[in-house]
Structure 1
Amino acid sequence: MAVNQMKNRMQALGLLDRSFKAASDDDLGDALERLDDEHREALESFVDEVSVDGVRAGVRTGRIDGGMEAIAAIVTDAALADTIEQLGDHAESPSSEQLREVLPGVVERHRLGVTRIMLAGTVVGEAPASAIIRDLLKNDETLALPPAPEVEIAPLLDTSKRSSDEQAELRAKRKAAKAAKKDAERARRAQSAAARGR
Structure 2
Amino acid sequence: MIDYLQMAQDAQRCLQALGVDVSPEQLVSTLSPAQKQLVEIARVMKGEPRVVILDEPTSSLASAEVELVISAVKKMSALGVAVIYVSHRMEEIRRIASCATVMRDGQVAGDVMLENTSTHHIVSLMLGRDHVDIAPVAPQEIVDQAVLEVRALRHKPSWRISVLRYVVAKCSALLVCWGQGAVNC
Q: TM-score higher than 0.5 here? A: no
Normalised to the residue count of structure 1, the TM-score between the two structures is 0.25
Q: Which structure dedicates a bigger proportion of its chain to helix? A: 1
State which structure, 1 or 2, has the greater radius of gyration over its C-alpha atoms.
1
Q: Which structure dedicates a bigger proportion of its chain to strand? A: 2
